[in-house]
Amino acid sequence: MIIKLNKIAPELKPTIPDLITRPVGKELYSRVMVNLVHIHKGEVLLLDFEGYRVLDPSFIDEFIIRLIFKSRDDENHFYVKLAQISEIAAINIASVFKSYTAVNNIRLVVITESLIENNFFIGDLHPQERDIINYLMVNKTAIPMDIATFLEIDTARAETLLHSMHSMRTIRQLLEGNTVIYCPV
């Protein structure tokens, strides 16, 4: 599902090119939630920020963080991916995620459609998790044994990493027969 924010946000009268304030974040979240009744389990929600330059911490907290937590709902999980994020917006998102993690001890990471500072994500991933993202971006799919071989770790450790990353919705998990396959968001 693709949601172009520049199609629904103008009704809220935000100052272009900015999405700022807690009320704008809350209202935009409510409007996106209306569309999410149509999202399928395991589907990617691509949020397109075309035309928006600045996202302030209050907006990020009320919109992006809430969507990330909603995506982690085991009953009907989905994956959040950001498109056309400006450099300043990426910096602000990373800062909010870092603060949130420090206060709540819950890691927040979101996948991006294009490279942001040489990564396809915003947030804090450990070096092995970063390597997994990069592996999947190149190879498109992997089973735990592939990741274990690539990282030179045992398969149990690879499975733990992959499960954790899937729980954070940074990688997708597909079931083909009895085989669990991982792929990028």
CA dihedral over 29, 31, 33, 36, signed as positive or negative: negative
Share of the chain above pLDDT 90, in %: 88
- Give the pLDDT score at 117: 83
- Give the pLDDT score at 5: 94
Query: What's the burial of 102, exposed, middle or buried (CB within 10 Å: 0-12/13-18/19+)?
Result: exposed
- pLDDT of 16 higher than 70: no
Residue 125's Cβ-side half-sphere holds a number of Cα atoms within 13 Å equal to: 24
- pLDDT of 139 higher than 90: yes
CA angle 103, 43, 46 (to 5 degrees): 65
CATH architecture of 1-124: 2-Layer Sandwich (3.30)
- Give the pLDDT score at 17: 78
Radius of gyration of the chain (CA): 17
Say whether pTM exceeds 0.95: no
CA–CA dist 142, 183 (Å, integer)? 7
Helix (H, G, I), strand (E, B) or coil at 21: coil
Domain boundaries, the chain: 1-124, 125-185
- Give the pLDDT score at 15: 60
Q: At 170, phi and psi to the nearest 5?
A: -95, -15
- Give the pLDDT score at 181: 97
CB–CB of 42/73 below 8 Å?
Answer: no
- pLDDT of 62 higher than 80: yes
pLDDT digits (tens, 9 = 90+) for 34-54: 999 999 999 999 999 999 999
What CATH number is given for 125-185 in this structure? 1.10.10.10
Average pLDDT over residues 12-19: 73
pLDDT digits (tens, 9 = 90+) for 80-127: 999 999 999 999 999 999 999 999 999 999 999 998 887 999 999 999
- Give the pLDDT score at 14: 60
